[in-house]
A and B are shown apart, each in its own frame.
Chain A
Amino acid sequence: MSSTEYKNKPLYIISSLVENKPGVLFRITNLFRARNFNIESITVGITEKPDLSRMTITTRIDEAILAQLVKQLRKLIDIVEVEVLDINNTVYRELALIKIRAKDFTNRNEIINFANVFRANILDIGKESVTVEVIGTPDKIDAFKNLIIQYEIVEMARTGVSALQRGE
């Protein structure tokens, strides 16, 4: 599959509650590998219940494959709940830290202006770089990244998506 073909596939957010114990992440990622499913991002963290973690997986696949993926996930004994979130009824965010090359005052100013427009925070300014924190949907982070790519990205770290269904 070419990268544009891949990018054109819809983004799905799969939210699951999993047992909070060793080896669970391995079992889940191993399933993706063994069944040839692609993961775009995966986040894991504790929930309001200490024995459960929430795992949020984003993937770009066809709908038929999505159904199969969810069924295979449901079969895993460490997964207590799985659902595909309806993007229109979901709040979801990702955080990115981007260290951008900024050799002179003008560059730094421009980057800071862009960051303000995107409501991003400047976390660090060095002699040759500015580190920005952007929070938003993956699209927003992509847009920011595409804008500042002209200055050269020194390093980037993205958290992957965390998501919750909206309240009633």
Chain B
Amino acid sequence: MNIRTMAEMSGAKALMDSLEKEGVDIVFGLPGGANLPIYDALVDANFRHVLVRHEQSAAHMADGYARIKRKAGVCLATSGPGATNLITGIATAYADSSPLVAITGQVPLNMIGKDAFQETDIIGVANPCTKYAFQPRHATEIPEVVKKSFYIAESGRPGPVLVDIPKDVQQEVTEIKFPDLIKVRGYKPIVDPDLSNVGKAVELLVSAQRPIIMAGGGVILSGAFSELQALAELIMAPVVTTFKGKGAFPENHPLAMGPIGMHGHAEANRIILEADCILAVGARFSDRSVGRFDEFGKGMNIIHLDIDPAEIGKNKSVDIAIVGDVKSALRTMVKMLSKVAAKKSSDNQWLKRRKELIDYFSQNIKDYPRAMTARKALKKLRELLPAESIVTTEVGQCQMWTSLHFDVIAPGTFFSSTGLGTMGFGFPASIGAKAARPDVHVVDVAGDGSFNMTENSLAVSVLENLPVLVFLLNNDMLGMVAQWQRTFYDRRYMGVHQKSCPDYVKIAEAYGANGLKVQSMDELEKAIKSALRTEVATVIDITIDPEEDVYPFVAPGTGLKDMITGA
């Protein structure tokens, strides 16, 4: 055993060294009684610590960082309430398959089970929303546990892992060994796809008259952007995405159709009904994407490619299933396709139909003839924002408007809480994204309701010099709930009015950020330009009409064919 891999140190120091060995350059956290030894060791650590104002935001920041870096983000919290505050962030990462390593302090081993102060069974709490949860009981276990945590979080279908370290284990000083290799015998992620199934899929795609590609979040997670584009161009298939897959394919590409789903693009929701063969790539047929499971894909051949075998047949039975890494499988498909068939012509009936649908729906979606709408604001943002900028959203109408009216051009520059739908996610996540890519602009498209939930992260944005632009579509409402109450509950509003409280300009200024209130398109243009120029955390508070609904709309429990366009 050489000296570098073995030394006497505390569990907390072993944790720092283990994180360094994993290449961690930033952690987001908040200290408390049960993780004080970790915070003491952080003083001498060679990576950055970002102090948050609420643990939920620490998890979202680490998640946002992870989605852009495509490696695990790290967050820290103390035991009890610190740990439970992380849970919403951990569940968000779990629902969106984002790699996260959450490290919590725990009461000392001899206090566990005694209902001690700030004790909570966080292993039990985290179980349903983590890939795994560890509780090392000796300092010597820490290096191995950390290495396993990163391996599990980042490999296969990524996801969050919790490491819960009792305080005395953090303090224990002992000989610590750092392993080079670890083995998790019950964990065998499948990477290489079964070639015979890939071959069958290729045959089916070549013979299809009306093929369509449905790209999901798996494309983004595996970074299979160029492979997806090559495949689409070879078979000349229109590409729809799920909402999580938004930005997997450049939305200004001649084959792009945008997201499908409850608030998908009308032409995307329509064309997928007319296809004869669907290639679903890294997608999980969620209810929000496909509407009714029983109706979706009827009479079509469905090819499903996903890294998680449990996704095959979970919501939708399919004709051909390929389990494996999306990037590697798509690369193989492109290779096979280049051999068997010449590139299809772009002059065919199917692509004409695509154009027809786009033209039709550009005229037949409810529009709001007002001077200032969310739609116009987002189009203006797109116009002024460089293509490589990163955009995230809060949850609700602001999120769905972004899906509809903001085209993602550079693949992998958009993300949102699509699975759990966590209000308050976007702002801290955008700060995490900024930490991952300080060289580009980062924008959080927010609503007033969501922004209110984690707006205290303004302190982090300002103090840590992680400036993001909060593009606040302010309708003074919990707008999506209000839209449902308007649509399904006969306008009987309950619990949706925000009553102009707080004043977001003052909130921004109170934290040392810029606050700009805009009420016209002219003011908006000036505000965006100024925010992009100054690179200071900025909240642009954009007044929009509270009656502006999101259309199209596929009501819950109905199928894509029942889409309401509002026109």
CB distance from B134 to the nearest CB of A (A): 10
Which listed residue, A18, A19, A34, A75, touches B128 by the CB 8 Å rule? A34
Task: Flag the segment in B60-68, B180-188, B252-260, B369-377 that touches A.
Answer: B180-188
Of B41-49, B218-226, B309-317, B532-540, the stretch lying at the interface with chain A is B309-317
Instruction: State whether B127 touches A30 (Cβ < 8 A).
Output: yes
Specify which chain A residues have a CB less than 8 angstroms from the CB of B309 in the assembled complex: 71, 74-75
CB distance from B179 to the nearest CB of A (A): 17
| Contact, CB under 8 Å: B127 / A68 | no
A67 part of interface (Cβ distance < 8 Å): yes
Cβ of A76 under 8 Å from chain B: yes
A3 to B: closest C-beta gap in Å? 27
- Cβ-defined contact, B124 with A19, below 8 A: no
Say how far A74's CB is from chain B's closest CB, in angstroms: 7
Shortest Cβ distance from A16 into B: residue: B186
Q: Are the C-beta atoms of A77 and B132 separated by less than 8 Å?
A: yes
User: Which residues of chain A from 7 to 34 have a CB within 8 Å of any chain B CB?
Assistant: 18-19, 23, 26-27, 30, 34
Question: Of A26, A68, A71, A79, which one neighbours B186 at CB under 8 angstroms?
Answer: A79
- CB contacts (< 8 Å) of A78 on chain B: these are 186
Q: Which B residues are CB-close (under 8 A) to A64? A: 313, 317
A23 to B185, CA, bound (A): 17
**Interface size, chain B (Cβ < 8 Å):** 18
* B87 CB to nearest chain A CB (Å): 15
Asked if A46 lies at the interface with its beta carbon under 8 angstroms from chain B, I say no
Binary interface encoding of chain B residues 295-320 relative to chain A, with 1 for a CB under 8 A from any of its CBs, else 0 = 00000000000001110111001000
Instruction: Kindly list chain A residues whose C-beta atoms are within 8 Å of the C-beta of B184.
Output: 77
- Given A23-B123, A27-B127, the answer on whether A77 and B310 have CB atoms closer than 8 Å is no
Residue in chain B with minimal CB distance to A78: B186
Asked if A72 is at the interface of the complex by the 8 Å CB criterion, the answer is yes
Residues of B within 8 A of A76 (CB): 186
- A19 vs B187: C-alpha distance when bound (angstroms): 12
Contact A30 B123, beta carbon cutoff 8 Å: no
Do the beta carbons of B310 and A75 come within 8 Å of each other?
yes
C-alpha spacing A37/B456, complex, angstroms: 41
* Complex: A26 Cα to B124 Cα, angstroms: 8
A interface footprint on B310-335 (CB within 8 Å = 1, 0 otherwise): 10111001000000000000000000
A149 at the B interface (CB under 8 A): no
Please give, as numbers and ranges, the residues of chain B lying within 8 Å of A26 by CB-CB distance.
Answer: 124, 127
Residues of A within 8 A of B (CB): 18-19, 23, 26-27, 30, 34, 64, 67-68, 71-72, 74-80
The 10 closest A-B pairs by CB, nearest first: A71-B310, A80-B186, A77-B187, A77-B186, A77-B132, A34-B128, A71-B309, A72-B310, A79-B186, A80-B185
Given contacts A74-B309, A74-B310, 7 further A-B contacts (CB under 8 A): A19-B186, A72-B310, A75-B308, A75-B309, A77-B131, A77-B152, A80-B185
Listed by A's residue number, 28 A-B pairs whose Cβ atoms lie within 8 Å are A18-B186, A19-B186, A23-B123, A26-B127, A27-B127, A30-B127, A30-B128, A34-B128, A64-B317, A67-B313, A68-B310, A68-B313, A68-B314, A71-B309, A71-B310, A71-B312, A72-B310, A74-B309, A74-B310, A75-B308, A75-B309, A75-B310, A77-B131, A77-B132, A77-B152, A77-B186, A77-B187, A79-B186
